[in-house]
Chain A
Amino acid sequence: MSSRFHQLLPMLLLLSVGVSAVEVQRPRGVPLSKRQFYEEGKPFTCLDGSHSIPFDRVNDDYCDCQDGSDEPGTAACPNGSFHCTNAGFRPAFIPSSRINDGICDCCDTTDEYNSGAACQNTCREMGHKERESLQKMAEIAKEGFVLKQQLIQEAKRGIEDKKAKLVDVQVVKKDLEEKVEALRTVKETAEQPEKEAKERHLKAWEDQKALIRMEKDKARMAVVFLELDDDADGLVSVSELLSHSELDPDSDASFTEAEAQGLLGGVDKVDTEAFEAVWNNLKEKYVSEVTTYTAAPVETPPEEVREPASDNESEQYPEDDVQEDEEEEDEEDEDDDQDDADYKVNPLIPSFAFRYIYRLCPFNRVSQKPKYGGSETNLGTWGKWAGPEENVYSMMKYEHGTGCWQGPNRSTTVKLTCGKETVVTSTSEPSRCEYLMEFTSPAICGEPPSRDSEPRDHEEL
């Protein structure tokens, strides 16, 4: 039972740096911003204006106002809210139903004033932790942003190069066109040397085509370089090359470092110029990781990301069963007597995270491959940006993957966060056939605010 009298909460308010302390009296659970509505001794008008009550009915543990405003400090109103100052951390509103429910919700313990719950004031600690993590995040954002700028610069440079080359080609083309025009004039005027003129013309045309082909090849080379250069250090290394098994010169399913080194002309790393020299070793077999560039508003360096797979010894179950079940999904049970072997779909859903290798090719597709052989399953192809309205580029949706038995087509949501590396940090299947990947990349980093952000309510601290 609580007392019939309202409780005034003495509050220690740390002003700016926290040197001087002032006590401001107001009913329990009222934020400072609403203090003026709760004036002691005067009738209280419900904040929705519906009616007025004597002030001693504020926080008297009985709900008088429809909007719950008369009981900011008790659990009496179903729709009320309680304000915790949380000095040292950040102030918060909690639903009234969490007052004195025996669970510590406010870090300053003010929500549990009459429940017997032993709450510890953890605001300082939490504030400290939050500042630390904010700082960390800011650092990541900062570094990530720098990386992003670099990526953008490189990409821009690439584009400019290509543009410049395009201009050259266009100049050549224009020249040739002029020549064609001239020749046509010649042709028209001189019927006799027709044959000769025709040959000349053809040769010029071939030259031009060769030139264009070469430029295209160069442009592709630049792109491939960027694709291969996973760590964006301006060098393509053996290890970076190894992620492209299709380059294996003898296609014997084992792409060794020696082989990769061979491809790079016997060195460990090549810069753009050296890369040009070895380009011929690669270009035939190289398979791009990206099919479309245009959809990307951020210049993500496309790359293949693999989730590390680890062993799961506890799962002794014949892995093949699952595979089989899935493969036989579309078939009727042919052997009636083999009752219910296919009963209830695949009882063996192992810890898939340990059994599959997941691949994400941004803007292309997501796939899953059993670690121990078996065919690849499409978990969705690039669909759309699917973040919330205010940040639509924070989530990618890959849709229309392989169908599930009695279920939807597989699909994958990729959550993007700012990070220093481009890497998939986790893969899960929260709902059957709906996958979730967490993906970090500098490409997602926004410009960090000039100064450390201050999320706290200055007034209250």
Chain B
Amino acid sequence: MASALVLWLAVYLSGTWAVDKGNFKTCDQSSFCKRQRALKPGESPYRALLETMELTNTRLTLQLINDNNKVHLLLELYRLQGNITRVKINELKPLKPRYEVPDVLIREPPTEPLSLLSQDENGVVLSLGVESQRVIISARPFRLDIVEGHEVLMSLNSRGLLAFEHLRMRKDTQADPEPEKKEEADPDNQAETAKEEEEKVEEGMWEETFKSHSDGKPNGPSSVSLDFSLPGVEHVYGIPEHADTLRLKTTDNGDPYRLYNLDVFQYELYNPMALYGAVPVMLAHHAQRTTGVFWLNAAETWVDISSNTAGKTVFGKMLDYVQGSSETPQTDVRWISESGIIDVFIMLGPTPKDVFSQYASLTGTQSFPPLTSLGYHQCRWNYNDQEDVQSVDAGFDEHDIPYDFIWLDIEHTDGKRYFTWDPHKFATPKEMLQGIMDKKRKMVAIVDPHIKVDSNYKIHNEIRSRGFYIKNKDGGDYEGWCWPGSAGYPDFTRADMRAWWASMFAYDQYEGSMENLYTWNDMNEPSVFNGPEVTMHKDAMHGDWEHRDVHNLYGFYVQMATAEGLIQRSGGVERPFVLTRAFFAGSQRYGAVWTGDNAAEWDHLKISIPMCLSLGLVGISFCGADVGGFFKSPSTELLVRWYQTGAYQPFFRAHAHLDTPRREPWLFGPENTALIRDAVRQRYTLMPYWYLQFYQAHHTGQPVMRPLWVEYPQDPATFALDDEFLIGRDLLVHPVTEEGVRGVTAYLPGKDEVWFDVHTFQKHNGAQNLYIPVTISSIPVFQRGGSIIPRKLRVRRSSSCMEHDPYSLYVALNPQRTAEGELYIDDGHTFNYEKKEFVHRRLSFANNLLSSVDLAPDAQFTTHSWIERIIILGASKPSKVTLKTADGQESHIDFEFDASMSVLTLRKPGMNSGADWTVMLQ
């Protein structure tokens, strides 16, 4: 009896804390994935019809035929600017149009000329521009290889897994009365269909059920699949969002990685299950080259990864080497999507930076956030009322902890009607916002996309009367269950709907809003509590398209429309800040993302690093995890460690579930308050550096938070590291993410480099594993020798309060005694930087001269900030230090030299940060 009870309890208790996997499909339960995965590598039934080839200046087209069913496909191949090749495959004459993802690419990608090198009956060879890159199209079976010199960079359909389920008439129901469908079909197509071989009708092709939900599939099977082989590659990354290691694992012995935006309750770590967002971009890396594949498809997608070396032990690999085994490592990847077309962008690098630029040229860069949004965010589900908000705000002042944003979750609304305020608890929102503004702080309120069905609710009535709701398969407004109870879901795929939504953020529409109120879009996967897999039925309709086709785009559009609303309400002047949970390729253009509903567990703290690194690799730099963990209650040690880690991640927000005890930073005794204060203050001293990183990310598409291999692509020791990371190029962070440890081992990269501990200024050599003893106050952070980092050491209540404060420059010398850095200053919140209103300086140290030169002479901005001190790490003692300003004046600067750490501190040079100047050490 007793043991039975214990067992029952164990099952029950563990059940309450883990994801209920039964709520989400495995590949086997998703009929197209099962069908596609049943297809094994082998000879492809597809053949290229070379006689159909047409080559214009910008594109090549060619028909493919499936010899089994005689269905023709159309292959299009483009050479895009910046070393990108685009391959599109669609049905030549589909029964009806297949979905092609709009709005994700920032423009029609500019092309470059393609030229034919040779052609025979076996295939054609095309030159990819000026480099020695070629595309070889083999005819039978169809296969596509991209080659540089003698090296194959990537092969498509080399394993014969191209599989394109053509649209077809339902055989067993052709007698059914659906005449209008038939008439719609093009007569040509009907002829084609008639020619088709009889194909086996498999279960799940025309209808599938999952739990109690049935998915009527009027269009029948429509999935697409293609394989990519990557010779020489052992490391692949990306395809977020998964709670998994940075380096992707092979999927031979389990499910593929799944990309299908889902609201997963209490997600589990280290598995390939789908989460809230999806970016179908994978990076492949080896010491000589980085490449990327962008699979532009918004339907449910699965990615299989296999590797010929994955099973081998180190000994096995050594044996191969000794015996001269010819087998080079290779990774094979296969993409499967439920509908749409194959539209692939092959980004050929060759460096990681090139791949980032290439991807940015397609989908855009990280939006440049308001400076304040890089500060600390205090959130909780929920701050109960205005008084609560006020007292939390006062608590930060009382305990001298800076913060910039306080957040309101769903309870602030009047009965979960977004754009409204609870009339009792938030009766005077403007008064509350003014109080926050008086402290130079800001607020974020949640606006979710599910709209309460309530005829007394203006937003609902407008959406309904304008016909903006997503429709169910029978043509009525789709209704699902979410926070407000029964809810409708606006069709954000419609431009007119998005424009209307944006207009709802106008100050006169969104009552109680003010310019310091920003927005949080949650539940935009979309989350439908009573829908299949907690999301929308795939047969719901967005105009002519099924939800199946657009699912992964929904959250992207919600954030797009919301960000547009925040821009418009200010007349296009102010930068928006919008946080989203669901995302897709291109979401980086609209704001920040977070890793959703994590838990107060050490493993969740650890996974925050690879999760944000993976997002950074695919363009989404503004990433963070709920500090402290959303579900459950963290131990004090975990909470402190989480603050210390979060302080060095791009989006820094504490958040907690409604059911958890309060955890504002001062509730854990004075020692812990001090530890948290110190972590948050470290964040604020580095705001100039963070801001610069985002400015650069906005311009170049480089990630802000980077895996080490991005900066050290030839050092295999960095390839799988995901317990430490770089911010930009110059700061290496190895946060303590283990309970009770006394030390951590950080890998410091760079054979000829040195790194300086930012706290002690101790110098360490690169290319070593460094053991660092730690205490509860330690956050191991290192500045790269050769860099200059601007800081603001006068930490105040909020980053706005620090706007005019002076800078301290940290110059860390490399063994060649040089260093470089940048300083970027603008007003911090408007789009005026686009009108060249900013200061952008290059700071460089060489030959004992530190100078500031203008990187943007055509830009203009007046800053009040001056240079307060210059700290030179790894310096020797000068006899005198002279400052020379632009007007030719020279003055002596006092300095202090700490011989034990070789730190030279120049006292109050005092020049304006925007000016030209030189400091000479003599």
Contacts and interface: CB of A to CB of B under 8 A. Distances in A.
Do most interface residues of chain B lie in helix, strand or loop, or is the interface mixed?
loop
B483 A347 contact: yes
A432 B770 CA distance: 44
A339 B400 contact: no
A102 B440 contact: yes
Contacts of B795: 78, 97
A372 interface: no
A1 interface: yes
Contact of A406 (B16, B213, B801): B16
B797 A62 contact: no
Nearest to A430: B662
Contacts of B908: 60-62
A95 interface: yes
B16 A339 contact: no
Interface stretch (B144-152, B411-419, B608-616, B875-883): B411-419
Interface string B391-435: 000000000100000000011001110000011110000000000
Interface string A1-15: 100100000000000
Contact of B415 (A102, A314, A345): A314
A432 B659 CA distance: 5
Contacts of A344: 265, 529
Contact of B797 (A76, A97, A433): A97
Contacts of B212: 337-339
A98 B659 contact: no
Contacts of B23: 339-340
B485 interface: yes
B794 interface: yes
A150 B796 CA distance: 52
Interface string B771-796: 00000000000000000000001111
Contact of A430 (B265, B384, B425, B796): B384
Nearest to A349: B411
Contacts of B410: 347
A314 B15 contact: no
Given A62-B907, A314-B422, A404 B866 contact: no
Given A97-B796, A98-B797, A354 B659 contact: no
Contact of B660 (A76, A102, A405, A431): A431
Nearest to B210: A339
A343 B425 contact: no
A332 B12 contact: yes
B661 interface: yes
A155 interface: no
B530 interface: yes
B805 interface: yes
B658 interface: yes
Contacts of B388: 430
Given A1-B864, A316-B415, A341-B529, A75 B659 contact: no
A340 B256 CA distance: 25
Most buried by B among A75, A404, A428: A75
Nearest to A335: B212
B549 interface: no
B530 A341 contact: yes
B662 A349 contact: no
A353 B400 CA distance: 32
B660 A432 contact: yes
B541 interface: no
A400 to B, nearest CB: 15
A1 B915 CA distance: 14
B424 A312 contact: yes
Interface residues of A, number: 47
B22 interface: yes
Interface string A156-172: 00000000000000000
A438 to B, nearest CB: 12
Interface string A331-372: 010001111110111011101011000000000000000000
A458 B678 CA distance: 37
Given A103-B438, A345-B659, A428-B384, A98 B796 contact: yes
A340 B263 CA distance: 11
Contacts of B425: 351
A429 interface: yes
Interface residues of B, number: 60
Contacts of A4: 910
Contacts of A407: 659-660
Contacts of A336: 22, 211
A1 B910 contact: yes
A431 B439 contact: no
Interface in B634-661: 658-661
Interface string A41-84: 00000000000000000001110000000000001101000000
Contact of A347 (B416, B534, B661): B416
Contacts of B529: 339-341, 343-344
B868 interface: yes
Interface string B308-335: 0000000000000000000000000000
B797 A103 contact: yes
A60 B483 CA distance: 57
A338 B213 CA distance: 10
Given A1-B866, A340-B529, A406-B16, A78 B794 contact: yes
B414 A314 contact: yes
A432 B797 contact: no
Nearest to B416: A347
Contact of A343 (B213, B423, B534): B534
A102 B411 contact: no
B211 A78 contact: no
Contacts of B681: 78
A75 B796 contact: yes
A429 B660 CA distance: 12
B530 A351 contact: no
A308 interface: no
B794 A339 contact: no
B458 to A, nearest CB: 14
A75 B410 CA distance: 39
Most buried by B among A101, A316, A345, A404: A101
B794 A75 contact: yes
A339 to B, nearest CB: 6
Nearest to B667: A431
Given A1-B910, A341-B529, A429-B384, A103 B659 contact: no
Interface string A414-446: 000000000000001111111000000000000
Contact of A97 (B16, B416, B482, B794): B794
A315 interface: yes
Given A101-B796, A102-B440, A339-B534, A317 B661 contact: no
A408 interface: yes
A317 B415 contact: yes
A332 B534 CA distance: 18
B794 A95 contact: no
A317 B485 contact: yes
Interface in B223-253: none
A61 B23 CA distance: 61
Contact of B423 (A314, A317, A337, A408): A314
A102 B659 contact: no
A184 to B, nearest CB: 58
B127 to A, nearest CB: 55
A75 B485 CA distance: 52
7 contacts: A62-B908, A97-B797, A339-B213, A340-B23, A340-B534, A344-B265, A351-B424
Q: Which are the 4 A-B pairs with shortest beta-carbon distances?
A: A337-B212, A101-B801, A431-B662, A62-B908
Interface of A: 1, 4, 60-62, 75-76, 78, 95, 97-98, 101-103, 312, 314-317, 332, 336-341, 343-345, 347-349, 351, 353-354, 404-408, 428-434
Interface of B: 12, 15-16, 22-23, 211-213, 265, 382, 384, 388, 400, 410-411, 414-416, 422-425, 438-440, 454, 481-483, 485, 529-532, 534, 631-632, 658-662, 681, 793-797, 800-802, 805, 864, 866, 868-869, 907-908, 910, 912
